[in-house]
């Protein structure tokens, strides 16, 4: 489970166990806000679970745990800089715990990579972003529940704005040669993800997509 693992990491570097618990409670509180229908603690746990088969291939697993915990810490559907702000927050927190500059920078790169989900030179970052997108390859019912949860998170937008914008996002994914950068996740989810994306696009019923 994510919680005991991240707590072990925090306790190992925090000056007192109470501080580690405060850090974890801060993470829990941020991801338990009522408006978070998808980007919540379940999402963090799902990423952790998806990475278990490849964790031995990740050079710095504790830093990966930190990236999981902080990558959506700041999440506002009205803003386009959530990844940058979450990365900056993670840097602040890890700096206070005296992680090395190199490890903090690695965590920052992991988080920033979730903005575009494009392939990078670091395999561990590609594993992270692939795990973040693994919901796209879920069974159809689970995927449609995910799509509904995303719609609820964006309920500040009416359908006339949300649907064209969502269509564009889905279409941009489908235009990529590969959705998943690593062979592990590609083999597991690529085909199913493309079927799911097409199904959601059809459900949106958009003839000529615009954008947000």
Mean per-residue pLDDT for 75-88? 96
Tell me: pLDDT of 148 over 70.
yes
Query: How far, in Å, CA of 105 to CA of 91, rounded?
Result: 8
Collapsing DSSP to helix, strand or coil, 78 comes out as: coil
Residue 209 has a pLDDT of 45
Query: How far, in Å, CA of 10 to CA of 161, rounded?
Result: 42
For the chain, domains (ranges, CATH) are 2-132 (1.10.3210.10), 136-204 (no CATH)
Residue 211 has a pLDDT of 46
Query: How far, in Å, CA of 23 to CA of 65, rounded?
Result: 13
Q: Cβ contacts of residue 109 below 8 Å, gap of 6+?
A: 120, 122, 125
Mean per-residue pLDDT for 49-66? 97
- Least Cα distance to 197 among 156, 121, 143, 160 occurs for 143
- 128 compared with 211, residue with greater pLDDT: 128
Residue 156 has a pLDDT of 94
Flag the least confident range among 93-102, 185-194, 199-208. Answer: 199-208
Residue 206 has a pLDDT of 75
Binned at pLDDT 50, 70 and 90, residue 143 comes out as very high
Mean per-residue pLDDT for 62-75? 97
Query: How far, in Å, CA of 27 to CA of 44, rounded?
Result: 10
Tokens of 17: 């166990």
Residue 207 has a pLDDT of 63
| Residue 164 · residue 207 · CB < 8 Å | no
Mean pLDDT, the chain, as a whole number? Answer: 95
Give the distance from CA 100 to its chain's centroid: 24
Mean per-residue pLDDT for 12-33? 93
Mean per-residue pLDDT for 148-177? 96
Residue 208 has a pLDDT of 53
Binned at pLDDT 50, 70 and 90, residue 205 comes out as confident
Residue 88 CB-density burial (10 A; 0-12 exposed, 13-18 middle, 19+ buried): middle
Query: How far, in Å, CA of 114 to CA of 92, rounded?
Result: 19
| Residue 164 · residue 206 · CB < 8 Å | yes
């Amino acid at each position: 489970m994510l919680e005991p693992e991240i707590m072990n990491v925090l306790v190992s570097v925090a000056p007192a166990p109470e501080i580690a618990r405060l850090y974890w409670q801060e993470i829990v509180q941020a991801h338990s806000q009522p408006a978070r229908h998808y980007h919540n603690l379940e999402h963090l746990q799902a990423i952790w679970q998806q990475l278990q088969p490849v964790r031995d291939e990740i050079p710095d697993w504790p830093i990966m745990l930190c990236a999981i915990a902080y990558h959506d810490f700041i999440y506002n559907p009205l803003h386009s800089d959530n990844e940058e702000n979450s990365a900056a927050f993670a840097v602040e927190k890890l700096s206070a715990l005296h992680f090395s500059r190199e490890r903090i920078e690695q965590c920052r790169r992991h988080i920033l990579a979730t903005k575009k989900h494009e392939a990078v030179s670091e395999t561990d970052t590609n594993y992270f972003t692939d795990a973040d997108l693994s919901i796209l390859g879920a069974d159809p019912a689970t995927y449609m529940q995910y799509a509904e949860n995303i719609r609820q998170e964006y309920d500040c937008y009416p359908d006339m704005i949300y649907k064209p914008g969502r269509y564009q996002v889905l279409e941009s994914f489908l235009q990529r040669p590969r959705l998943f950068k690593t062979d592990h996740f590609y083999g597991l989810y690529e085909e199913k993800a493309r079927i799911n994306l097409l199904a959601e696009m059809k459900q949106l019923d958009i003839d000529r997509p615009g954008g947000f």
